[in-house]
Structure 1
Amino acid sequence: MAASDPRERLLELSAERGVSLAQLSALIGRNSAYLQQFVRKGSPRKLEEGDRATLARFFGVSEGELGASEEKSSNMDWIDVPRLALGASAGPGALAQDEQPIGAFRFGRAWLRRQGLDPRGLSAISVDGDSMEPVLRDGDEILVDSAPRPLRDGIHVVRVDGALLVKRLETGRPGLIVLKSDNPAYDPIELTPRDVDVVGRVVWKGGRL
Structure 2
Amino acid sequence: MSSTLTVQVFNLLTMTTLAERLQVALDQAKMKQIELARRVGITRGAVSLWLKGATTKVEGENLVKAAQVLGVSPNWLATGRGRMKSASPREIALEDNPEYPAIRRVKIKISAGVTGFGVEPLADDHAPIVFHRSWYESNGYSPESLIAIKVNGASMEPGLYDGDWVVVNTDDTQPRDGIAFAVNYDGEVVVKRLFRTDGQWVAASDNPDKRIYRDRPMNGDTFIIGRIVHKQSERI
TM-score by length of 2: 0.49
Aligned match for 2:121, one of 92, 101, 121: 101
Contact kept in structure 1, 2:156 and 2:192, CA below 8 Å: yes
Equivalent residues in 2 for 1:40-189, closer than 5 Å? 75-85=97-107, 99-102=119-122, 103=126, 104-148=128-172, 150-153=174-177, 154-171=179-196, 173-174=198-199, 176-185=200-209, 186-189=213-216
Deviation at 1:71, TM superposition (A): 9.0
Q: How many residues align?
A: 129
Contact kept in structure 1, 2:100 and 2:131, CA below 8 Å: yes
**C-alpha distance in 2, partners of 1:73/1:160?**
39
**C-alpha distance in 2, partners of 1:98/1:152?**
24
Root-mean-square deviation (CA, aligned residues, Å) is 2.6
Cα deviation per residue 1:23-48 (whole Å; 9 max; x = unaligned)? Answer: xxxxxxxxxxxxxxxxxxxxxxxxxx
Read off the aligned partner of 2:121 and give its amino acid letter: P
**C-alpha distance in 2, partners of 1:73/1:84?**
22
Read off the aligned partner of 1:191 and give its amino acid letter: M
Secondary structure at the aligned position of 2:154 is classed as coil
Residue 93 of structure 1 is matched in structure 2 by none
**C-alpha distance in 2, partners of 1:73/1:141?**
23
Q: Could you say if the C-alpha distance between residues 132 and 121 of structure 1 is closer, same or farther in structure 2, counting changes exceeding 3 Å? A: same
Structure with the higher fraction of residues in strand conformation: 1
**C-alpha distance in 2, partners of 1:134/1:72?**
35
Deviation at 1:72, TM superposition (A): 10
Contact kept in structure 2, 1:86 and 1:126, CA below 8 Å: no
**C-alpha distance in 2, partners of 1:150/1:167?**
14
Read off the aligned partner of 2:100 and give its amino acid letter: W
Query: Gaps (5+ residues) in structure 2?
Result: 1-89, 110-116
Deviation at 1:151, TM superposition (A): 2.3
Read off the aligned partner of 2:157 and give its amino acid letter: E
**C-alpha distance in 1, partners of 2:168/2:138?**
16
Give the percent of matched residue pairs that are identical in Structure 1 and Structure 2.
Answer: 33
Read off the aligned partner of 1:196 and give its amino acid letter: T
Read off the aligned partner of 2:155 and give its amino acid letter: S
**C-alpha distance in 2, partners of 1:138/1:169?**
20
Larger radius of gyration: 1
Residue 23 of structure 2 is matched in structure 1 by none
Contact kept in structure 1, 2:173 and 2:227, CA below 8 Å: no
**C-alpha distance in 1, partners of 2:93/2:162?**
37
**C-alpha distance in 1, partners of 2:166/2:150?**
6
**C-alpha distance in 2, partners of 1:73/1:137?**
31
Query: Gaps (5+ residues) in structure 1?
Result: 1-69, 88-96
TM-score by length of 1: 0.55
Q: Could you say if the C-alpha distance between residues 188 and 78 of structure 1 is closer, same or farther in structure 2, counting changes exceeding 3 Å? A: same
Q: Could you say if the C-alpha distance between residues 160 and 167 of structure 1 is closer, same or farther in structure 2, counting changes exceeding 3 Å? A: same
Say yes or no: does 1:197 pair with 2:219. no
